[in-house]
Structure 1
């Protein structure tokens, strides 16, 4: 009796991928997810199976609790909160003035207000376009107009080679609008940092992964989910975006000094070649690595896989620099002993803003 030929055994790489998928699916299916176990698996790369990376990243960034029974409640609360932020911070001053007029003058004036015209006596000082009051909706609108323009320019330049982010399609334009909304709301909630050029590049991988989730409901709320994950991600290295901290141990120059010491520890010849022989300051090759989390050094697909590992560290994507101890002589309690360095010119497109506390960056909630 003839028998059908057997299928060839899977190749080792295929076997590994199947095993990796089954292990991470098993980890995600637990009622209470072991985050330490998940981080170990994510550090080796998250499978490209539908929706897995979206869920894993949300867990790694503490957006989702490890108790699965709380997911629906937590997501509903956060997404509702984001909708409230949009209503509060992205309102058009004209519409606000109309609503104030309707509420303040009743139905008798409704027709006049609906036509877009308010009698001069009905416009309060705070509603007047020339008002300089801090609570004036117009003053706040004009105050952020420059930030809005900068965000708009940067978002339009985000991955111009990808139809997801760029092009004339309604899908691409909708995605651009979502990026702009997230960045503007972040800027308004965090006056100490506001918006710094390059934040769009950090937001892009998050939004892409969440918007590509095959679950329609999750994809629909990708903007809200991206906002909270972006906030959490940025809170771990916010000081790199504060120009007034540039020359401090926690600012960008301090971080570059740590990187230089790390290179010296593991490859002294390379460090000598870079900084002594060729006199290349670390800022010229590492500034983008650190501030943009390698998003500009690799193609987008590779960046996504690299971020699997970066996000898996519980101390944040820059923990390698913070935890290294290249100076044994450093005083107890200090991980680094920073040597004074001659100031180097940093990119000019950085805002001179005061430092902020983590809670300010995380959110300003009532």
Structure 2
């Protein structure tokens, strides 16, 4: 089991340490060609808030920006233009699409004629007809995704309701909500195998928040486009966790949960055995039926599904306050092999830090504790997780 650091768990790092880390981070970012290994090492310790460089650091860690600074301007312009094209293609409603196709098809021969913007009945093709069932029909595609769009709208409105950035009647909050919805809809349409899975809004939120608060106004204004590509990159490492067909496979969410069980057993066998014993108690309770029905989990399996399913699929975004989530993600995104292994170590550390309470608890009390994880010092949590490397 990991040992505690010498400094008290709740003590902040010395001011001189923060200043030194900030200056080293700024120096690393000022190079013409950035050393990504050095950047990962520095960012893994947490990006100082006062440095105002987290948006750039995250874009580098996610591979959205290349290490050569000379390429940034050209690459950003290319990606942002590509996202604008995605918006035009995927966010237009069928009426607008039909009208645009009509205008493009008129050519010069109809340039002098009057037009009310509506197609004549004889000019409406099968693909453009609202009752068409063809896969290429813009109307059929619109109706197919309408339910997903409604789900996205509901989830986005529930994103961090305690933060004015995401919720409220201000034009700023509504604009941010609109950006989140745009990103998730475009992602769903580009990724037909996964589409949209409830909770993706929670994973997108930290990215958009960080990029929208970039001190550079030019970058902040393109937060939606930048967030989209970084969201795609981040989810690529967790894609299998969201694919229902792979749920019970070695690479799906059950496989990931099994890895967590193995990790806990490796570092604290006593705790893992206790969790298995207390988990077995639920097989005769109505609570088990309800939990398993909600998360589509097989009750014959004894693993962290009852407390870590949400931890892993939502990257801990529901377990801590938003400021702590941002600092945890500094560490998650710094893993050169992708955030999954670091995420599992942090989950394991979360269990170790409350082991005393877990060892004396039954299933009901342990489940309540782990589904409402107590406030903890994030620096200490990340320290313990790092010791499990």
Would you call these one fold, judging by a TM-score over 0.5? yes
TM range (shorter): 0.7 to 0.9
Taking structure 1 as reference, are residues 297 and 321 closer, same or farther at Cα in structure 2, changes over 3 Å only? Answer: closer
Tell me by how many angstroms 1:99 deviates: 1.5
CA–CA distance in structure 2, aligned partners of residues 129 and 254 of structure 1: 43
CA–CA distance in structure 1, aligned partners of residues 318 and 112 of structure 2: 53
Tell me by how many angstroms 1:273 deviates: 1.4
**Aligned residue for 2:34?**
33
For the Cα contact (< 8 Å) 1:262–1:321, is it kept in 2?
A: no
Per the alignment, in what secondary structure is the counterpart of residue 207 of structure 1?
helix
Q: Number of paired residues? A: 313
**Aligned residue for 2:287?**
none
Tell me by how many angstroms 1:110 deviates: 7.7
Tell me by how many angstroms 1:152 deviates: 0.5
Per the alignment, in what secondary structure is the counterpart of residue 316 of structure 2?
coil
**Aligned residue for 1:293?**
315
Where does 1:1-366 land on structure 2 (aligned, <5 Å)? Answer: 13-49=14-50, 51-106=52-107, 108=110, 113=115, 115-279=116-280, 281-320=303-342
Deviations 1:259-306 (A, max 9, x none): 011101111111111111443741111001111110000000100000
RMSD between aligned alpha carbons? 1.9
Q: Mind listing any 5+ residue stretches in structure 2 that lack a counterpart?
A: 1-11, 283-302, 346-389
Deviations 1:108-159 (A, max 9, x none): 388764x343221121221111111221111111111011011111100000
Taking structure 1 as reference, are residues 116 and 59 closer, same or farther at Cα in structure 2, changes over 3 Å only? Answer: same
Tell me by how many angstroms 1:18 deviates: 1.0
Q: Indicate the structure with greater helix content.
A: 2
Tell me by how many angstroms 1:103 deviates: 2.4
For the Cα contact (< 8 Å) 1:112–1:118, is it kept in 2?
A: no
Deviations 1:47-89 (A, max 9, x none): 1125300000000000000001111011011101111111111
**Aligned residue for 1:341?**
none
Per the alignment, in what secondary structure is the counterpart of residue 49 of structure 1?
helix
Q: TM-score, normalised by structure 1?
A: 0.82
Deviations 1:6-42 (A, max 9, x none): xxxxx97211111111000000000000000000000
For the Cα contact (< 8 Å) 1:131–1:138, is it kept in 2?
A: yes
